Every structure is written in structure tokens, then in C-alpha cells.
Structure 1
Amino acid sequence: MDGIHILVPSSLVREAEDKREATRKLGTVARAAAVFGASRLVVFPDREGERRFGGEFVETVLRYAATPPELRKDLWGQRDALQYVGVLPPLRLPSEAGSDPNGSESSTQGIVTEVGPEGRVRVNCELQHPISLLVPSGMELEEGERVTIRIDSREPVRARITGKPEEGFQVVSTDLSEALARGPKPRIATSRHGRPTTISRLATLAPKLEDGFTVAFGSPGRGLPEILGISADEIPPEADSGVDSVVDGTVEPGRGFDLWSNTIPRQASEVVRTEEAMFATLAQLTLTE
């Protein structure tokens, strides 16, 4: 299974009144990713929609939330963006963060802080901050991803990357067009202007979702059509299966997605918050027979 990729904009907390409220909201987003077993949570740029708390804040808090609790202090230390992380809900994800941390040989996790040349990356981990490690053959890493590290010796330091954690989700930042190009299909856009979800439509769609899917959300007061710079009239009535191209680094209007879905067709509130839409949408898309 390719897994579930969730795409959210950097303007995700644009309506938050303060840092505490913004952190709480991001905790709910991370909780949704954890509950429904997402493998990747992508933050894509929406600079025009950002206000006080932008992409860097969003990425930092989400990456912190996705880090196993026992590693957070060593990997993150003290940062201004993490002032209110005490309000984050526990994700309760099973993890194998480490083993015998006081021994000469152990395993731990680290976060990629920089992708360098010659197949090396700089990783923030409990050994020192940061450490340069060679990327194993056949593995691709992005900034922000968590990796599993085997520590063979602490003095002198000898360590190597052995893989990516099997549990939990990765938080990365990339352009929407690239996230769509690399994400599993079908690629679903959520919008009140999309085709309403029905029982029969879910039954037809369900077999296509078994191996994974990509689903994107907008931000408060700024939905995906506005972020993409398209009108509701430009959203196709159904997937244009023959067109999934990316032109000049931007998503073609309506064509970067296979489906545009209104997953809350009986919306009675004027505004549905992004985190609320995430729970409603993912609950539908992960249904089994």
C-alpha cells in the first residue's frame, strides 16, 4: 500500500488569534493524520493566505507532534514556535524510537535538517546537532523526514541510517504540484464546490482507495479553488482521467486532481474548519466493506 498522503496549506492557522490556539489547531490536524493512518503529511505553500503564523511555524509544530515523545527534547530543544506544545494531544502511535540508549549499540530516530551533495544528509538526533550521514542506496530523503539511525559507537561517534520509521507519519514541505505528482492516486481535492459525496459514489470509489490516495484541503476562508487561482466554474464535473500534467510548475486548473469532492454535502455551518473537514473526509475515504 502506498499509504495516505494528506496535503494542507501553509495558511492552515491563518485565523488563529494567538500561538496557543494555532498550536492546538495543528495538534488536531496531527491527530487526524494519526487516527487514520496517514503515511505523509505535506505542507504546501500558500503565502498569500498566511497571516501571523506561516509555513515555518506550521511545519515545526507538525514535525514536533509527529516525533515520538521520548525523542522530542533531544531533537527539538527550546524553540519559540514550540512555546505551547503542551496543548498538543497525544498521538498514541506505536513506535520503536530506541533501544538501550545507554548502551554502546542502539537505535534511535533523527530528523533530516538538510539534504546535501554526494548522497549525504545532515540529521538532528540525540548524538549531536546535527550529524552528517550517508543515505543508503536506493533511499530518497527530504528535509523534515524522520529516519531510523543505528548507533554503533558513541565515542567516537559511528552511526548509520538504516531506514525510515515504519510507524507514524512523515511531515514534509513541498509545492502542491510536486506533492500531487509524487502522491498515490487517486488525488482528491476537497471543496464545497466539488461533487457531493453519496453512498453510491463511495461504493464506486472505495476499490480505488485500497492501495492509498492523496487528499488535499484548503484553509479557513480560503479554499483550494482560491489557493489555485481558479473559479468554481473551472472545477470539472468529474475526473479528467486523461490529464494529470503539471504545466510550468503549477497545477492546471482542475486538472491536478482526479476528483473534486464535497465530503460534507449537507453543510449547515457557514464555515467548516480544516481539521473538521479532515475527520469527516478521512472517515469516508477509509471505509471498508
Structure 2
Amino acid sequence: MNNLLQPLRTLPLVSFSIPSSIVSDVFDEREKVRKIGFVGRAAAIFRVNEIMIYVDDSRDNAEHIDILLRYQEIPPYLKKKIVRIDSRLKFAGLLQPLKSVHHVPEAFELNIRDGIVISSNEVRSVVDVGLKKHVVVYNTLPIGKRVTVLLEKETSSSYIGKIVDKNSIKWYWGFETRIFNSIEDLLKFLKSNNYLIVCASKKGNMIYDVEDNISKDFKTCEKVNVLFGGPKLDIDEIARESNIDINKYCNYIINFVPRQGVESIRTEEAIFIVLAILNYLKERINTT
């Protein structure tokens, strides 16, 4: 496969933050699930490393979003083995399948798979990776733990493998999620962990005015996070309600859709638009 077409992990690692209120304008549970499904799909399409959820209305909403995204990210062959029954997953079947590399490793001819530890002793552990044979690794691991394994050798009864850190895999290997109790907690975390912070807002600078500066920053930064507002309040308005000046935290506040032809752009729509543009900028510097 041409390197330009491979879903590789490349720097900077991209993450984004959404408010718990992203589902506040949807009252049908099925539609809530579909909306969050589009968020997860966007993350997988554009190789997002992490989705951060900050509470701006209720912790329950944040946890509901979190459990749906976590479920969506689990490879299909592991879902029933990992996920416990939860009423919040009642309509999880409506989530769009990701079909990313770790969901369909066969399509990429990989010998790396995610699995779940089904037995363990002082010498070795047995991992179910969704194949006819299990994988034996020479580590003592907690039963029920999700792991990523490299299949090194096949025997008559099993595979012999080793545990690998998914962050060391050259391919994009899915996203993680994290909940923050407030936008203030989120911003402090991003700042203290050296993220390049980008706020998506129609009140910001036009993307074409800052494109060159962002491209320069992408060459040196390792992590970038994009902050999105919700259905009712823009990102600066959510911050203002918490007595926070968003300008003190964000490296960029950008209007990614100059001359938008609609009154407002939904958060899940904005995620696709913004990530597509950032992906273009990121790939431009990685291929030149």
C-alpha cells in the first residue's frame, strides 16, 4: 500500500474536546446515539488520539457520551467479551462501525490484535484475540484486562505472542476518552501538558489568515487539541459562564468556515469540518 494512503500515526497527535451538552438538544435516545456515533466516526477517520469530554451541564450526560464512545472504539469481536450490560448501551447497535485498523487487522495483513486476558498464572497469560486459537504471552496479567499483542509464532494449539504498547505501533490504533468536571479543569490540563490549543469559533480569525502560522507550529508541537462549543453556547460563552477568559488559554481561535451559509453549524458537523482542515495541514507538512 502506498505510504500516502496508510493510516499511520503521525505528529502532531490530534485530540479534541466536546461539552457534555452536545446531546442537550436531542430528546430521542436513538438520535443521541447516532449523534455520538458521528463524533466517534470523525475521530477514527482523522486518526484522533483522544476525545475529551468536559462537563458544562451534567455529569450524567458526560458519562453517557463516554460509555458510548468507549463501546464504539472496542473491536467488534471483543465487544461482548469486554462490555457489561448497561442501560445506557440499550441503543448502542445504532453506533456507526469504525472499521479502523484495529477493528479489521486482516484487511491490513497485520499480526497485531487487541484481546482480552482470559487466564493467567505466575508464568504466562492467555489472551482471546477473536481468532480460533488463543494467544499465549509470557507475562502475568490481570484477568479481564484489554491488551494489544503481537502474534510471533503459531503452534498446533495456540499462538505465541508478546504484549506491545499501542503507542509504539506505527498504525493509527483508535482513540481514548477522558472526562473533565469543568472547562476550567480541561484547560488547565491542556496547558500544563503542552498541548497546542485551538478553539473553533465563528468569532475567531479566518482560517486562511492563520494557516501558515498553524503549519509552522505543527512542525514542532507533539500534541494539539481542538475545543468545541455546544448546541446553545459557543466555546467562549461556555468559558465565560465559568468566569474564564478563553483567550488566555487558546493559542488560536479560528473560524474554520468563512461565510457559512447557515445560521449555525452543529457541533458534530463542525468536528468533521475542522478535523478535515487540520488533517490537510498536518499531512502537507508530513509529506513535504
TM-score norm. by structure 2 comes to 0.69
Matched, 1:206 2:212: no
| Whole-Å separation in 1 of the counterparts to 2:63 and 2:41 | 19
Residue in structure 1 matching 2:232, options 207, 218, 221: 221
**1:73 Cα deviation after fit:** 1.2
Counterpart in the other structure of 2:265 = 272
Partner Cα distance (1:42, 1:176) in 2: 8
| Paired position in structure 1 for 2:134 | 103
TM-score (ref. length: structure 1):
0.69
Distance 1:104 1:88 in 2: 29
Q: Report the secondary structure of 1:57's partner residue.
A: helix
Structure 1 CA distance for aligned equivalents of residues 147 and 189 of structure 2: 20
Residue 270 of structure 2: SS of its match in structure 1?
A: helix
Q: CA deviation at 1:17?
A: 1.8
Residue 282 in structure 1 maps to residue 284 in structure 2:
no
1:261 to 245, 254, 265: 254
Q: Which has the higher helix share?
A: 2
Cα distance in 2, alignment partners of residues 188 and 251 from structure 1: 16
Work out whether residues 15 and 225 of structure 2, in 8 Å CA contact, stay in contact via their aligned partners in 1.
yes
CA distance in 1, matches of 2:165, 2:230: 33
**Aligned 8 A contact 2:137 2:163 in 1:** no
- Count the aligned residue pairs: 225
**Percent identity (aligned):** 29
- Alignment partner, residue 82 of structure 2: 75
1:128-167 mapped onto 2 (5 Å cutoff): 128=144, 148=148, 163-164=165-166, 166=169, 167=173
Question: Which of 177, 181, 191 is equivalent to 1:171?
Answer: 177
Long gaps (5+) in structure 2: 1-10, 103-112, 116-128, 151-161
CA distance in 1 between counterparts of 2:214 and 2:12 reads: 17
CA contact (8 A) 2:114 2:147 kept: no
Residue number in structure 2 paired with 1:135: none
Shift of 1:148: 3.7
Q: Which residue of 2 aligns with 1:36?
A: 46
Alpha carbons of structure 1 residues 183 and 88: separation in structure 2 relative to 1, 3 Å: farther
Q: Does 1:54 align with 2:56?
A: no
Distance in 1 between the 2:163 and 2:24 partners?
Answer: 37
Deviation at 1:182, TM superposition (A): 5.0
How far 1:252 sits from its partner (Å)?
4.3
User: Aligned pair in 2 of structure 1 residues 283, 252: CA closer, same or farther (>3 Å)?
Assistant: same
Distance 2:78 2:255 in 1: 39
1:64 is matched with which residue?
71
Cα deviation digits, residues 234-288 of structure 1 (max 9, x gap): xxxxxxxxxxxxxxxx854421111111111211211211111011111111214
Contact 2:114 2:149 in 1 (8 A): no
**For the residues of structure 2 that align with 1:104 and 1:37, how far apart are their CA atoms?**
28
Equivalent-residue separation in structure 2 for 1:191 and 1:58 (angstroms):
22
Aligned to 1:86: 93
Does the 8 Å CA contact 2:236/2:245 hold for their aligned counterparts?
no
One-letter code aligned to 1:103:
H
Quick check: 1:183–1:213 contact (8 Å CA) kept in 2? Answer: no
> Conserved in 2, the CA contact under 8 Å of 1:5 and 1:184?
no
- What's 1:138 paired with? none
Distance 1:189 1:277 in 2: 11
Contact 1:2 1:184 (C-alpha < 8 Å) held by counterparts: no
| 1:14 is aligned to 2:7 | no
- Tell me the distance in 1 between the aligned counterparts of 2:273 and 2:114: 31
- Give the drift of 1:42: 0.8
Looking at structure 1, the residues matched to 25 and 245 of structure 2 have their Cα atoms a distance apart, in angstroms, of 28
Question: After superposition, what is the alpha-carbon deviation per residue over 1:106-131, rounded to whole angstroms, capped at 9, x for unaligned?
Answer: 59xxxxxxxxxxxxxx97xxx44xx6
